[in-house]
Amino acid sequence: MKKFKWYENVVFYEIYVPSFCDGNGDGIGDLRGVILKLPYLKKLGVGGIWLTPFYPSPKADNGYDISDYRNVDPEYGSLSDFDELLETAHRMGIRVIIDMVLNHTSDRHPWFQESRKQRAGGKYRDYYIWEKEVPNNWESFFDGSAWEYDMQAGMYYYHAFSRQQVCLNWSCEAVVRECLDILAFWLERGADGFRLDVINFLKTDRSALRKENPVVDGIIQHVYDKNQPGVIDAVRRISKLVHSYPEKYLLGEVGEEDMELLHPYMGKGLLDSVFQFNLGSMRKLDAAYMGEQIVKMEAAGIYPTLFFSSHDMSRHFNRLCEKELWKAKLLAAFLLTAKGIPFLYQGEELPMEDEVLNGSGDLKDIQGRYGFEKKKKEGKSDEEAFFYALERSRDYSRGMMDWNRVNEPESDSLLHVYQRLLELRNSHASLRTGSYEGIDFSGESLYYQRVGNQEKIGVYLNFGKLNVNVPVQNVLLEIQDEDGNLKGLIRYE
């Protein structure tokens, strides 16, 4: 019988550090704030947290541009705050995984400062990808050319994201060793694992630079600039180091929605999990699609991650639920009763809503700002440029967590339903590690049973006009819409 790991038995909660909780009153979330809210997370039933980057950074991309990998940004606290956070969380039985960005560094990182000064052959020159001429048509994922001319070096450097996020050269052995040392630094401090940012984008194959990316309908496709030959070996080396420490969890952000491209990164000696974007980045609520994906993942023998929101996408309360509370309750019921590792995003339990952006002045996220600049350069009006940027911006889900809303929850509040669902999941092994039986989806309904530990729990969800119509007996949880119609039922079978 498969032995399940700790991370397959907990519910994670993503903390976007700058907007979670401000512990020192300067208006910005910080590590002290996280410590203050650990009791809230414990009460919710969370067993693991994922902290987004808190390292020193110029914050061109809110910390995904690291300038010092072994410290805490003063805006977020200090190393001793981190240690205290870890110790307090561990004492409460909450594990802590931390975001790690190894694909690129900030352009202010000392390695890059040295690299741009040095000539070929210098120690740091090869840490990044330099070319005398722009070698290909590759574009940044944030718009515009991926190549930036650097006056000091007199050459172009490669950046898959913003020009302030310079891609490391993973075909340089010294880079690999530096990165492994950084991971060891945080593991020694007691971190329980990592969420590896855009890990399939590591640049491991310089010969790929000679290949032009295909253009479809005028849009350059990302083909040769990711999933390069050599990337799996790089992941293997990371995994070997991380798993030389006991009980560590390695989760990768593999920027793909296609399940077949996601899964080569997972398995023994590789990543323990990837984010299942095949399910997580659904654009509209689609019960049949959800059903198909769980059937597919089951057939592939995968213990997946489960999520519908993150700091990179519109909140699912807006995107999928059309701001209807009962739909948010049904999706929560799915997240917390399906097979896999649920990742809640801060505030989805309240629910927080998407931020409203009224004009270009509200665009904080670099991807939105880049989009706006791009369209302005093309001669578009402010209005047109803003419209384009709205599609690209990731500001929606990054609003400050509204703690005023966390009062004693009313019995039918969403928070109460989340709490109850976490309680059910934490107390019923069948909901965590049990197998599926009778997965059934038709129209807008989705039904399944979870079986294990000598019990069988049925989950009945109807996202459409119809109600759930199975006998309401042996009930664990009922979900009704505002007119009292039965839309969800969890019961012993």
Question: Which residue number, 148 or 489, has a Cβ lying nearer to ligand NOJ?
Answer: 148
CB of 22 to Ca ion, least distance (A): 4
Task: Give the whole-angstrom CA distance, residue 168 versus residue 229.
Answer: 16
Task: Give the whole-angstrom CA distance, residue 123 versus residue 266.
Answer: 33
Task: Give the whole-angstrom CA distance, residue 396 versus residue 345.
Answer: 13
Question: Which residue number, 24 or 113, has a Cβ lying nearer to Ca ion?
Answer: 24
The burial class, CB within 10 Å (0-12 / 13-18 / 19+), for 74 is exposed
Residue 253 annotated as catalytic: yes
Question: Which residue number, 205 or 312, has a Cβ lying nearer to ligand NOJ?
Answer: 312
Task: Give the whole-angstrom CA distance, residue 232 versus residue 54.
Answer: 27
Residues 87-106 that bind ligand NOJ (CB under 6 A): 101
Task: Give the whole-angstrom CA distance, residue 275 versus residue 252.
Answer: 7
What is the torsional sign of CA 24, 27, 32, 34? positive
Residue 354 annotated as catalytic: no
**161 interacts with ligand NOJ by CB under 6 A:** yes
Question: Which residue number, 155 or 183, has a Cβ lying nearer to ligand NOJ?
Answer: 183
**61 interacts with ligand NOJ by CB under 6 A:** yes
Q: From the list 64, 156, 303, 441, which residue makes contact with ligand NOJ (rule: CB under 6 A)?
A: 64
What order do you get walking across the sheet with 475-480 strand by strand? 435-442, 445-452, 455-462, 486-492, 475-480
| Active-site annotation holder among 73, 81, 148, 253 | 253
Task: Give the whole-angstrom CA distance, residue 256 versus residue 262.
Answer: 6
**224 interacts with ligand NOJ by CB under 6 A:** no
Q: Which does 61 bind (CB under 5 to 8 A by kind): ligand NOJ, Ca ion, none?
A: ligand NOJ
Task: Give the whole-angstrom CA distance, residue 271 versus residue 134.
Answer: 34
Task: Give the whole-angstrom CA distance, residue 138 versus residue 123.
Answer: 27
Q: Which does 64 bind (CB under 5 to 8 A by kind): Ca ion, ligand NOJ, none?
A: ligand NOJ
Q: Which does 161 bind (CB under 5 to 8 A by kind): ligand NOJ, Ca ion, none?
A: ligand NOJ
Q: Which does 28 bind (CB under 5 to 8 A by kind): Ca ion, ligand NOJ, none?
A: Ca ion
Q: Which does 24 bind (CB under 5 to 8 A by kind): Ca ion, ligand NOJ, none?
A: Ca ion
Question: Which residue number, 73 or 395, has a Cβ lying nearer to Ca ion?
Answer: 73
CA distance readout (Å), 284 to 70, 162, 264: 40, 29, 27
Task: Give the whole-angstrom CA distance, residue 248 versus residue 108.
Answer: 30
| Active-site annotation holder among 107, 126, 197, 395 | 197
For residues 22 to 51, the per-residue mask of contacts with Ca ion, x marking binding by CB under 5 A and - elsewhere, is x-x-x-x-x---------------------
- Write out the DSSP string of 102-144: -SEEETTSHHHHHHHHPPTTSTTGGGB-EESS--S--B-TTSS
Q: From the list 83, 292, 312, 478, which residue makes contact with ligand NOJ (rule: CB under 6 A)?
A: 312
Question: Nearest CA to 128 among 232, 238, 202?
Answer: 202
- Other C-beta atoms closer than 10 Å to the C-beta of 254 total 27
**349 interacts with Ca ion by CB under 5 A:** no
Q: Which does 22 bind (CB under 5 to 8 A by kind): ligand NOJ, Ca ion, none?
A: Ca ion
For residues 180 to 209, the per-residue mask of contacts with ligand NOJ, x marking binding by CB under 6 A and - elsewhere, is -----------------xx-----------
Residue numbers of the site for Ca ion (CB under 5 A)? 22, 24, 26, 28, 30
Residue numbers of the site for ligand NOJ (CB under 6 A)? 61, 64, 101, 161, 197-198, 253, 311-312
What amino acid positions are annotated as catalytic residues? 197, 253
